[in-house]
Amino acid sequence: MMRKKYLNWINIVLILLTILLAVIFLALSLGEINFSFSQIINILTKKEGIEYSILLNIRIPRIVLGAAVGGSLSISGLVLQGIYRNPLVEPYTLGISGGAALGVSLAIVFNIQQVFQGITLPIFGILGSVAMIIILYFISLRKQNININTVLLTGVMISFMTSSIIMFIMATTTSENLQSIVFWTMGSLEEPNIFLIKIVFFASLMGLLFIYFFAGHLNALRLGESNAKHLGIDTTTTIKILFVFASVMTGISVSVAGIIGFVGLIIPHLVRYFVGSDFRILIISSFLGGAIFLLLSDILARMIIAPNELPIGVITGIIGGVIFIIALTKSSK
């Protein structure tokens, strides 16, 4: 029986990897200039010409960033839903993205872009996220006995407060700053800095490996904190570690790609529907599912009004909202 289950999990991972490779091929192929599979192989083999430059400097970095951000947001949402035992929790619910958006907004308003050149906004986004994590930690997580509902409500209130401050900034700043803030908050995978892309990519892989070691703890937490304690799990320490790690992954992703909604909410739900509720398969499947979803959304964002580009947050919001409503309707029936 166990062997059959493990074989089934291997098949699921292989199917998701196959889908991801197909989506990566689509992302490489489609754009202002379309390439066939044979052309892509030929271009990458010769390593010369404008076509090679397009693939190497524009499309491949975008694919790497999209897969890393999608995977990070998805497993962050999965972990937060697991430790809070609330299916509506996602990385943005707890004010993490709001902190990043506030940091970026302040950097734009005070014209600090020239300090660190192209990495100014990501740096301030990360600082804003870390600030929100520290505030939430000292308000709700520092205590020995964690009240899950208190942590959740505190995060929601922090999110509302940061949103209100950002709206105040947008209402009082110049039209040029307003446009920059709005564009960033809509999300984009158009990041020219390869160093930042590498940071997000390696952070996502490290996060995947680290969180997978806590798969057993998350399975135990599904039974409730008291039952998990009886199984020998230090629930307080586990919740703190997983919360901070998921928050940092979200903060890094949001700081580079902007606010991209619904990935951390809808993907864990869909994956759980198909693969079950065991975190040993859920974590890997959610990471791959998030990467697939965000890359597909980016393809649509680039193609719908080509040669112009829609903000990717618009696509994920529409698709994610529709999928969530359909899934909610079916589950209610």
In angstroms, the Cα distances linking 143 to 6, 79, 151, 225 are: 39, 21, 11, 16
Q: What is the CATH number of domain 2-332?
A: 1.10.3470.10
**3-state SS, residue 34:** coil
pLDDT band at 143 (very low <50, low <70, confident <90, very high): low
Closest CA to 166 of 128, 135, 111: 128
User: Cα(326)–Cα(332) distance, rounded to whole angstroms?
Assistant: 10
CA 143 from centre of chain: 28
Cβ distance 311 to 301 under 8 Å?
yes
**Residue 265: pLDDT over 80:** yes
**16-65 confidence digits (pLDDT tens):** 999 999 999 999 998 778 888 888 888 888 877 788 888 888 889 999 99
Question: Token pair of 281, please?
Answer: 């398969």
Closest CA to 222 of 75, 111, 81, 96: 81
pLDDT value at residue 118: 65
pLDDT band at 147 (very low <50, low <70, confident <90, very high): low
Sign of CA dihedral 149, 155, 161, 167: negative
**Residue 274: pLDDT over 90:** no
**Residue 66: pLDDT over 90:** yes
User: Cα(123)–Cα(125) distance, rounded to whole angstroms?
Assistant: 5
pLDDT value at residue 133: 79
pLDDT value at residue 113: 65
Q: For 305, phi and psi rounded to 5 degrees?
A: -120, 35
Question: How does DSSP assign 183-227, residue by residue?
Answer: HHHT-------HHHHHHHHHHHHHHHHHHHTTHHHHHHHTT-HHH
Closest CA to 54 of 67, 68, 39: 39
3-state helix/strand/coil string of 64-77: HHHHHHHHHHHHHH
Those residues with Cβ within 8 angstroms of residue 178's Cβ, 6 or more apart along the chain or in another chain: 170
pLDDT value at residue 71: 94
pLDDT value at residue 65: 93
**Residue 78: pLDDT over 80:** yes
User: Cα(186)–Cα(182) distance, rounded to whole angstroms?
Assistant: 6
pLDDT band at 221 (very low <50, low <70, confident <90, very high): confident
Q: Taking the complete model, does pTM exceed 0.95, yes or no?
A: no
Average pLDDT, the chain: 84
Cβ distance 244 to 130 under 8 Å?
no
Please indicate whether residue 88 or residue 99 has the higher confidence score (pLDDT).
Answer: 99
Cβ distance 59 to 240 under 8 Å?
no
Most confident of 74-88, 201-215, 219-233: 201-215
pLDDT value at residue 25: 92
Question: What is the pLDDT averaged over residues 69-98?
Answer: 84
Helix-then-strand count for the chain, H and E: 15, 0
